[in-house]
């Protein structure tokens, strides 16, 4: 570790001396990528070792990251970087394997569902195969298991099972000594992601109760019911972890609260940024990008990241959901509304996340 830190500092010093830049990888990476994509320094390269077809629209990528990758905790996310037609794209996915697989074999898995109209997910499904190399960011996120074992209820919908798979495998490996229930909602019985793995977990991990509910296997759709929650023993004592479509999580949260669970025991992670309804007449304004000497007028509830990209700028970003904080930058003046919480900022200098900040009148940001 010390040798790696020394090497990194030496590269930074060389970059400053030669290029007057803090990040020499911006100059060396194109050459390194041609020689060996696994030598790239600007991000962690990860080579695809296997592609597993889970369902008709879901694949699992088994990846071997370069050794400098720092690892992760069960339930966390990671940003991946891919290049499509000469343009780099970052997207956020949950890790679906347990940290033990990384520690023991140097492997991780990402389970990715094809999204209708999704540029990156469709490209991944259509073009990525064994031996391809993608970029990997460091893991992040607070969707984490309790440090002291407590009874747990997982509620997953569709591909929302991915971070929960990581958690379940970790709990089974660690012999987590508290009751664990999974309510997994899928559209049809053909849409069960990692079915064999879930069944294997349920057979060897005695603390786990598995309940898979197909919502559209019959003519009449069947969604989460009050009885589903009432069937969970000791529901009020459970820590609840939810991942899935917003409608499922909203319904589950309202029913859990009606059953007497407190908000601090309900943990959620999202596919897309949740948000509060903003009055379109009360938001928008002129955004001044001081570092680019550019002013852009905006209307409605577009966030500052979207406004910057529409103006031809390319600010750093990652998840676009307010989770990873890669798009954080300095607001030098003006007021913004956080689209996740609806809260309004102060008028002075502060750090904001571009992807969840909507201007409310004139705003200046340091981009």
Residue 245: exposure state from Cβ atoms within 10 A (0-12, 13-18, ≥19): middle
Q: Which is nearest to 357 in space by CA: 280, 286, 305, 297?
A: 305
The pairing of strands 350-353 and 328-338 is: antiparallel
Look up the pTM and report it.
0.75
Residue 300: exposure state from Cβ atoms within 10 A (0-12, 13-18, ≥19): exposed
The torsion of the CA quartet 85, 86, 92, 98, rounded to 10 degrees, works out to 90
Note the pLDDT of residue 93.
93
Q: Which residues fall within 8 angstroms of residue 174, CB to CB, at 6 or more apart?
A: none
First-to-last alpha carbon distance for the chain, in angstroms, is 34
Note the pLDDT of residue 116.
84
- Taking the C-alpha atoms of residue 133 and residue 38, their distance in angstroms, rounded to an integer, is 7
Helices (H), the chain: 2-19, 25-35, 99-105, 119-127, 161-173, 195-204, 226-230, 246-258, 304-310
Note the pLDDT of residue 8.
55
Tell me if residue 119 falls in helix, strand or coil: helix
Q: Which is nearest to 148 in space by CA: 181, 176, 172?
A: 176
The pairing of strands 152-157 and 133-136 is: unpaired
How do the pLDDT tens digits run along the chain, 367 residues long? 555 555 555 555 544 444 444 445 544 455 444 445 544 555 789 999 999 999 999 999 999 999 889 999 999 999 898 888 888 888 889 999 999 999 999 999 999 999 888 889 999 999 999 999 999 988 988 899 988 999 999 999 999 999 999 999 999 999 998 999 999 999 999 999 999 999 999 999 999 999 999 999 988 889 899 999 999 999 999 999 999 988 899 899 999 999 999 999 999 987 655 666 677 678 888 999 998 888 988 888 888 988 888 888 888 877 777 777 788 899 999 999 988 888 899 899 999 999 889 999 999 999 9
- Contact between 145 and 170 (Cβ < 8 Å): yes
- Contact between 153 and 234 (Cβ < 8 Å): no
Give me the CATH code for the 43-141 domain, please: 2.40.30.10
Q: Which is nearest to 91 in space by CA: 66, 64, 128?
A: 128
- Contact between 201 and 168 (Cβ < 8 Å): yes
CATH architecture of 152-269: 3-Layer(aba) Sandwich (3.40)
Note the pLDDT of residue 220.
87
Structure tokens at 168: 């379940």
For domain 284-365, the CATH class is alpha beta
Ordered by start, the domain boundaries in the chain are 1-40, 43-141, 152-269, 284-365
């Amino acid at each position: 570790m010390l040798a790696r830190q020394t090497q990194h500092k030496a590269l930074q010093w060389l970059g400053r001396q030669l290029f007057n830049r803090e990040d020499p990888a911006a100059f060396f990476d194109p050459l390194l990528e041609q020689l060996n994509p696994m030598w790239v320094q600007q991000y962690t390269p990860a080579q695809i070792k296997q592609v597993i077809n889970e369902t008709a629209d879901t694949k699992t990528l088994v990846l071997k990251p370069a050794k400098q990758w720092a690892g992760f905790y069960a339930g966390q996310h990671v940003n991946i970087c891919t290049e499509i037609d000469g343009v780099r794209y970052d997207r956020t996915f949950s890790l679906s394997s347990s940290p033990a697989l990384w520690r023991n074999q140097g492997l991780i898995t990402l389970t990715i569902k094809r999204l209708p109209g999704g540029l990156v997910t469709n490209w991944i499904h259509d073009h990525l195969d064994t031996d391809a190399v993608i970029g990997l960011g460091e893991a992040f996120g607070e969707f984490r298991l309790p440090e002291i074992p407590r009874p747990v209820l997982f509620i997953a919908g569709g591909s929302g099972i991915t971070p929960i798979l990581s958690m379940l495998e970790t709990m089974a490996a660690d012999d987590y000594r508290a009751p664990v229930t999974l309510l997994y909602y899928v559209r049809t019985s053909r849409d069960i992601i990692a079915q064999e793995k879930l069944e294997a977990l349920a057979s060897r991990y005695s603390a786990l109760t598995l309940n898979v509910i197909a919502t559209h296997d019959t003519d009449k759709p069947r969604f989460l019911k009050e009885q589903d929650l009432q069937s969970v023993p000791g529901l009020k004592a459970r820590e609840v972890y939810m991942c899935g479509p917003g409608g499922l999580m909203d319904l589950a949260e309202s029913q859990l609260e009606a059953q007497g669970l407190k908000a601090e025991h309900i943990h959620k992670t999202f596919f897309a940024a949740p948000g509060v309804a903003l009055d379109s007449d009360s938001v928008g304004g002129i955004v001044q990008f001081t570092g680019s000497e550019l002013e852009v007028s905006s209307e409605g509830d577009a966030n500052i990241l979207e406004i910057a990209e529409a103006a031809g700028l390319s600010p750093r970003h990652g998840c676009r959901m307010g989770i990873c904080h890669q798009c954080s930058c300095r607001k030098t003046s003006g007021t913004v509304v956080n689209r996740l919480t609806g809260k309004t900022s102060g008028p002075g200098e502060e750090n904001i996340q571009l992807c969840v900040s909507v201007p409310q009148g004139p705003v200046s940001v340091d981009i």
